[in-house]
Amino acid sequence: MWGDEEERRELRRLMREHDLMIAEAREADRAESIHYKVTETPARQAEPSPVFSEDQSDVIVKLLTRLREERDAAVSPLKAEIAELKAKLDTIAELRGKLDAMLTLLGQGGIKSAEVTVLPDWRGRRHVG
């Protein structure tokens, strides 16, 4: 069925060789996936020199303060106007609620409407009847 003994030995040898080749390939794949990174720690540097001189820094601070004050002065009236408009909007919403309530009462007959009765003309001529 499997041939003679010599063929079986050859087949076993080829299988061992195949297993060794697969193991070597796996080991090579693992070795390729590992990356080593080598870094050197740089020597400490002295404190960096400031970008601006002290006088320049003072000017920048004063300029930014002035710009903030101008912005606040421009925004303040707008905030007041927004508050006023919100108050008006609240009033309108309240009036609308009252109007809806009145319309509901009128629609349900809460307030009776007057009936108009036509009377005879008694001013100009006498009505007999």
Q: Tell me if 96 is assigned to some domain.
A: yes
Expressed as residue numbers, the domain containing 87 is 77-108
Residue 7 has pLDDT above 70, yes or no: yes
CA-wise closest residue to 67 among 59, 56, 55, 79: 59
Q: Tell me if 18 is assigned to some domain.
A: no
Residue 77 has φ and ψ, to the nearest 5°, of -65, -35
Residue 27 has pLDDT above 70, yes or no: yes
pLDDT band at 114; cut points 50, 70, 90: low
- Residue 108: the pLDDT is 66
Q: Tell me if 115 is assigned to some domain.
A: no
